[in-house]
Structure 1
């Protein structure tokens, strides 16, 4: 059995509810939102966040490299946002799942349990049945949920391992005649 420390690292220092008003009392659009902190710590959620938005500002406990978090409250989603650095930069939670932006990647976890991971090197799909599909600029690869079937396609070749055999061959590429 390992001995665990009872110390907890302090990550956050404080949290404050704010309402950002993007228009003045005459309805004119402001260049910078006017911020107001309600005294009763309650805020309505406006259907149009470009008009008015409610958010909680969570202050970082790290004064040397602060990465404060904004928790934006919308009618259809909750958005967590923080400045770039190590770890996540954004999280969106809605009825359909979660989307996380982390270190240049976008990861979406859908309500059915499927996952999509997109980055500069391609997109990977983990389907709800366990099958995996990877797409890049040069190749598309798939593995079935039970691991029995594997395929790989490029512009010039196709290869597959199936329950009934193996195939690997050049793909037929039709040349378009040029005049």
Structure 2
């Protein structure tokens, strides 16, 4: 039985299984906290009249005032800082690989998901049930499922349509929240 479409339930399932970037977030948070603590300690100690001098301000100021902007050292440091910043932004913006494929239940309080490997195995098994298909594999690539089926090499159009129909039928039964396109590739058995 196919679960009814419920937009609130679909949004809840997608939100629940959204991949998180925990490790990069923890690294950035720890680095920013340590930097903030160092600046706070330097500021408070300088205001108290006994500067800690953990950060060599005098040497940094002297280097900054005597180094021209076209200096290779300055350009290399600026490029490195820019690359690190862009990498951190990319990690934050680009979603990670999902750990679960959310499935439609029709109930916003009931959220279920399938492992991507289990989902693709079920779709490959559906392709293998087509008469004349000896083996099949399936992989998720973005919002598409790529199915590779090994056949005896008869009518290629017949097999492609039959495999696509079998995979789409199984996918409808599994009822994933997000739609997937099915791409079928046939290989001849040797």
Q: TM-score, normalised on structure 1?
A: 0.20
Query: TM-score normalised to the size of structure 2?
Result: 0.19
Give the number of the structure whose residues are more often helix, by fraction.
2
Bigger RCO (CA 8 Å, 6+ sep): 2
Q: Which has the larger radius of gyration?
A: 2
Structure ranking higher in strand proportion: 1
